[in-house]
Chain A
Amino acid sequence: MYPSVIRFLLLSSFILLAACASTKVQQEKLPCNIPASFNWDTTTVYKASISVMNKNFSGLIIFNRENDTDYRLIMTTDVGPKLIDITLTPKGYTKNFVMAQLDRKALLRMFWEDFGTMLGIFAKGKPGYSDLGTCCYPVSKNFTSCYITSDLKSFPLSAYFVQGNEKKTKINYFCAVGQQPDSIRIEHLALNMSYFLNKLN
């Protein structure tokens, strides 16, 4: 009995030590980059359906590439008149035109986060780090945008906008290999809200 108790205690101690040690080891975050991911055309037009609290809205969303990092986002009605025209940059957004009823800071910031992540503007010109199979880029304090690719090189299959450790928005890209996405689904995980974009040109 005595040697077996000793063996049991030693084994328990070893397991306990090993468990403690493992909690102290930081998960290694390796550098990653997805440079070929976001070579969008100068102008890309999507037909958009937006569902908010089970109500549906539709219109056109146009992305105009201004330079390597900045994009102009334009939302229009299906019939033509413009509702929103903002420039998205890695640091924030600037208003070119916003219809009075939609001129809300929280809404415009949400568009910056969603479409900035979708377009990959936060991933331009700075290194990312791999985290549990995703390639993440810091956006601002406590916010990151993360991309899941088949090989961390090609166009992403999906993306997340993350606050702290909580995924706020999920983006799914549907595209042929090496092509821009034909359709994109953006879903707010905490809100009853989603967009579905279908490429027109």
Chain B
Amino acid sequence: MLKNKLISHGEFCFKKSDKLRMEFKQPYKYLFILNGANVYILDNQKKTEVSASGNKLFKKISQITISSVNGDILHSKDFSSRILESDNQYLLILTPQSKEIKQFFNLFQIYVSKNNYLVDKIEMDETSGDKTTLIFTEKQVNVPIGDSFFTLK
């Protein structure tokens, strides 16, 4: 719809088994942390804490986010899946089955490197006709990260 793509840059960190930190740094600052059943958001110095356990939609989003990172999403009842492959990548095509996800997304496509089995790219086809793509670069594995990195002080 837009003539130019909107591009944001930042950092994405995952710690087994249920901790995730997504930090947007350019062109704006926004921090999203998922830590077990809790979600923390920092935006314009405003902190928000949400308990995903008390919110069905948040709980679902948390489960999907974590399971897409650790690979469990292939066994999820919320999606039907197909796996394709090329020379250097696997392509996981996930079609939402649950009503909650279907209202937002038509399809997820996850590109996984055959070299290291890490995710290169996630494409999210929205029901609105737009597409959001996450591209992962400069990947590091098994870097020590303290638990405090997944909370807001």
Binding site for B on A (CB under 8 A): 42-43, 45, 47, 49, 56, 58, 60, 62, 64, 72, 74, 78-82, 85, 96-97, 99-100, 198, 200-201
Tell me the complex Cα distance, A72–B2, Å. Answer: 10
| B58 at the A interface (CB under 8 A) | no
Q: Which residues of B contact A201 (CB under 8 A)?
A: 27
Q: Which residues of B contact A85 (CB under 8 A)?
A: 1, 128
Chain B interface size range? 20 to 34
Judge whether B3 and A81 touch: CB under 8 Å: no
Per-residue A-contact encoding for B82-110, CB less than 8 Å = 1, 0 else: 00000000000000000000011100000
Judge whether A49 and B44 touch: CB under 8 Å: yes
Q: Which residues of A contact B24 (CB under 8 A)?
A: 78
Judge whether A200 and B4 touch: CB under 8 Å: no
| B126 at the A interface (CB under 8 A) | yes
| Cβ of B25 to closest chain A Cβ, rounded Å | 12
Judge whether B130 and A99 touch: CB under 8 Å: no
> A45-B6, A64-B1, A99-B103 given as contacts; is B132 within 8 A of A81 (CB)?
yes
| Cβ of A65 to closest chain B Cβ, rounded Å | 11
Tell me the complex Cα distance, A170–B15, Å. Answer: 46
Q: Which residues of B contact A80 (CB under 8 A)?
A: 6, 124, 132
Binding site for A on B (CB under 8 A): 1-4, 6, 22, 24, 27-28, 30, 32, 41, 43-44, 46, 48, 103-105, 124, 126-130, 132
Tell me the complex Cα distance, A125–B43, Å. Answer: 39
> A78-B30, A81-B124 given as contacts; is B6 within 8 A of A60 (CB)?
yes
Q: A47-B28, A74-B1, A82-B130 are in contact. List 9 more A-B contacts (CB 8 A).
A: A56-B43, A56-B48, A62-B2, A79-B22, A81-B124, A82-B128, A97-B127, A99-B104, A200-B28
Q: Which residues of B contact A45 (CB under 8 A)?
A: 6
Query: Can you list 5 pairs linking A and B with CB atoms under 8 Å apart?
Result: A43-B2, A58-B46, A78-B28, A200-B27, A201-B27
Judge whether B3 and A42 touch: CB under 8 Å: yes
Of all chain A residues, the one with the shortest Cβ separation from B104 is: A81
> A79-B22, A200-B28 given as contacts; is B2 within 8 A of A97 (CB)?
no
Q: Which residues of B contact A99 (CB under 8 A)?
A: 103-104
| Cβ of A157 to closest chain B Cβ, rounded Å | 23
Q: Which residues of B contact A200 (CB under 8 A)?
A: 27-28
CB-contact partner of B43 in A49, A74, A81, under 8 A: A49
Judge whether B104 and A56 touch: CB under 8 Å: no
> A43-B3, A47-B28 given as contacts; is B124 within 8 A of A56 (CB)?
no
Q: Which residues of A contact B27 (CB under 8 A)?
A: 200-201
| Cβ of A97 to closest chain B Cβ, rounded Å | 4
Q: Which residues of B contact A47 (CB under 8 A)?
A: 28
Tell me the complex Cα distance, A140–B90, Å. Answer: 56
